[in-house]
Every structure is written in structure tokens, then in C-alpha cells.
Chain A
Amino acid sequence: MSRMKKIGLGVLIVLTGIQFIKPASNENGQALPSDISTTISIPSNVQLILQTACYDCHSNNTNYPWYASIQPMGWLLNNHIKDGKKELNFSEFGSYSLRRQLSKLKSIASQVKDDEMPLASYTMLHRKARLTKEQKALITDWAQNTKDNLEQIKP
């Protein structure tokens, strides 16, 4: 066997092997009692943007693309989701302390306004997650107003 063939075979074996190591999928189905929608009112147009542009990494329900079942892509996605949920998880938002909810709303507004979120690497492959100027304004206004309202009821 030539050197090239050996290398090719090696790559094939490794690629096949890693397909069997699958991360647990982030799909919960039903809404948890701690879901943001149970405590905070979200207009349907805002909800739609959150779902298409944020929930893949910031909730317990990822809408997986086809390549997620191919490794190592699946591992990469899994890590992004893990990091994303650690920062902000809309499915658990209601269980955050009021102080943390306020911090998160502030960060949502500033991250979207500064074009830090959604991540460029994500919108590259998810065209629907590319936010127009109007969509960005919808999100930042909603987050800001919700924060202002919550602050008023804060003891």
C-alpha cells in the first residue's frame, strides 16, 4: 500500500469511528415552568425573532441543522450550545434571581445593539438569524422596556 493510501485509510477509519460518539441532544419539547414566557410577556413578533435567532444556543430546544449528526460538527455545535446556555437560557430564565434577570435583559439589549449577538459564525450558516435593523430595534426595545418595568416592581 502506498503512503497516500495509508493516510487516506487512516482518515477514513478515524472519521468513521468518531461518528459513534454522539453528544446528547438539546431537545426538551415541552416548555418548563421556568421558561421566560411564563414570567415575562413577549410580543409574538419578538418571540419569533428570539426563536429563530437565539433559541438554538440559548434554550433547551435546539433546532438542529442536518450536519449536526456528522462528527466532529455535532461536537462543535454541542459546545456552542453548552456555552450559550451557561450565559443565558431562556428556558430557565424564570428561575434566575430578579437581579440576574435584569442583568440578562441589559446584556441582551447591548449585545444585539453592538452586533455581538447572534454570533457571526452562527449567522453565516443560519441566514434566518441575520437580523435586520428593524428586528434588532424590536429586540433591544423589548429588552430595555422589560428591564425598566421589572426595575419598578423590584423591592
Chain B
Amino acid sequence: MKTLIMIAVAAISFSACNNNDNQPNETTATSGDTAKTGMQSATTVTNSNMAINNMVKAYLELKNALANDNSKDAATAGSEMQKAVENADPATFSADQKKIFADVKDDAIEHAEHIAANASNIAHQREHFETLSKDLYDMVKVFGTGQTLYQTHCPMYNNNKGANWLSETKDIKNPYLGAKMSTCGEVKEELKQRP
């Protein structure tokens, strides 16, 4: 009888395992920082300045991790970014802010999610980072920023198609090419800290 039960359990858990085949990845990527931001993620952020500041903070961590070729830290920052977007509650946003946030939200969450889930694939993280950079730039243009940011352009990434990113410094530290081409890029625009 015991063996019967064991087989039944084995058969069921076999299928159960497969049901969740791609989840462990995501859990490991997010579990590390749940403790860190546990307090934060429980509350929603309605203040628009705070909402964008949280996103910029997570984004810059992500950008710096990619510039250092550190895909693991990038994954952690990716899930921070995901939370920052998810926790932003547009209730008190202005009409323009609501509009751009509604446009960006799903897209940004998805990119952040993929960056978090691909801790072993930095090339793929960078692909999503490129579009995420555009999402955040469009939001900062409407929301303003709590710290001065620089829209920077690297003409070499993606077979010379080029790509942009936001940086907190004028010094170039390329998040697309990492150490191998660290100083490639130039500042295109300064996004001044809101007064």
C-alpha cells in the first residue's frame, strides 16, 4: 500500500513540477530583495515625485550593474524597478502624468520582469534595458526628476543602430557594451533636476 501511495505522489508531483517549470528562476531573482524593500512594497506610492524618484533610483542601479557587466545585480535591480512601477498609484497624478504612465506601465513592468528573470543572460537583459530606457525617458520628460539626469547615446550598440540610456553623471560608463567599450557614448541632453 505504501508503494501505491508513493507512486501516486510521485506521479502528481511530476506534473506539478512541470507546471511550475519556469517559476523558480523568477523567485530566486526576486527573493533576495524582498526583505530589503518589504516595507516599501506593501504600500502604494501616490505622490508623483516619489513615484518617479523610485523608478529612477532602481533604473540607475540597473544601468550601473549592466555597465559593470554584472547580470546578477542587474536582475535584482530589475525586480526593484518592477516594484517601483507596480507600486506607483496614479490616483493623484496630473492628467499628463496619468496619460504617460498608463501608456508606459505594462511595457515597463514587462521589461523589468524579463531583466529580473534573466540573471544569466546579460545580452537579453540589455535588449530589454534599451526599451525600458525609452519608457523611463518619456516618463521623466513629463514627471520631471529629483536629480539631474543625462540622456546619453551610444552609436555602436546593436550593429551600429545605436541606443540611449539615462545616466546620473556626465561621465560615460556604457551599460550596453560594458567593460569592453566602457567609454563609448556621448551626452545628448541634460534633464535638469526639478526646482
A residues with CB within 8 A of B = 3, 6-7, 9-11, 13-15, 18, 71-72, 75-76, 79, 83, 96-100, 102-103, 106-107, 110
Contact = CB atoms under 8 A, between A and B. Distances in A.
B131 A83 contact: no
A110 B15 contact: no
Interface string B1-37: 1011001100110110011011000000000000000
B110 A75 contact: no
B4 A10 contact: yes
B63 interface: no
B103 interface: yes
B4 A100 contact: no
Interface in B70-93: none
Nearest to A97: B103
Given A3-B3, A103-B111, A103-B131, A15 B11 contact: yes
Contacts of B102: 97
B106 interface: yes
A100 B18 contact: no
Interface of B: 1, 3-4, 7-8, 11-12, 14-15, 18-19, 21-22, 102-104, 106-107, 110-111, 127, 131, 135
B18 A75 contact: yes
Given A10-B3, A75-B18, A99 B11 contact: no
A75 B107 contact: no
Contact of B15 (A6, A75, A100, A102): A75
Nearest to B134: A99
Contacts of B110: 100, 103
B22 A10 contact: no
Given A10-B8, A72-B15, 18 more contacts: A6-B3, A6-B4, A9-B4, A10-B4, A11-B7, A14-B11, A18-B15, A71-B15, A72-B11, A72-B14, A75-B15, A83-B22, A96-B106, A97-B103, A99-B103, A100-B107, A102-B131, A110-B127
A75 B7 contact: no
A132 to B, nearest CB: 22
A76 B8 CA distance: 18
A97 B102 CA distance: 9
Nearest to B105: A97
Nearest to A11: B7
A14 B15 CA distance: 12
12 contacts: A3-B3, A6-B1, A7-B3, A10-B4, A10-B7, A10-B8, A71-B15, A72-B11, A72-B14, A79-B21, A83-B22, A97-B107
Q: Sorted from nearest, which 8 A-B pairs have the closest CB atoms?
A: A10-B4, A72-B15, A10-B7, A14-B11, A100-B107, A99-B107, A14-B8, A103-B131
